[in-house]
Copies of this chain bind each other. A is one copy, B any other.
Amino acid sequence: MPDDGQSLNLRPDFNKAGGLVPVIAQDYETGEILMLAFMNEESYLKTIETGEVHYWSRSRKELWHKGATSGHVQKVKDIYLDCDKDAVLVKIQQVGNVACHTGKRSCFHYRHTKGDQYELI
């Protein structure tokens, strides 16, 4: 384990899950979790290059510049890797205050109540 503050040459480990890593998008001010999606190496590099979050769309199988159509882009404030380098956390400013395609602010809008029951929040 290197010392705190040490500079390290790192990228996410894209080999663990078929070229993809899960990415958590968190509001940089409120700490609210807005969505979870995936990046491949191309989308990771595009995110760093542009300062706006790019994912890999597993359904469309293409580079996904989040908000390119809706205008709800995600401005990168900070990027973190976890201890195993197989997960990414991006702290973002969510333009338009809406991350979800349903029009809600966060994608996490089903809250568990009991058993198999959830309520929509």
Contact = CB atoms under 8 A, between A and B. Distances in A.
B48 A112 contact: yes
Interface string A12-49: 00001100001010100011110110000000000010
B112 A78 contact: yes
A70 interface: no
B112 A3 contact: no
How many copies the complex holds: the figure is: 2
A81 B81 CA distance: 23
Contacts of A101: 83
Contact of A119 (B6, B89, B109, B111): B6
Interface of A: 1-11, 16-17, 22, 24, 26, 30-33, 35-36, 48, 58, 78-85, 87, 89, 100-102, 104, 107-113, 115-121
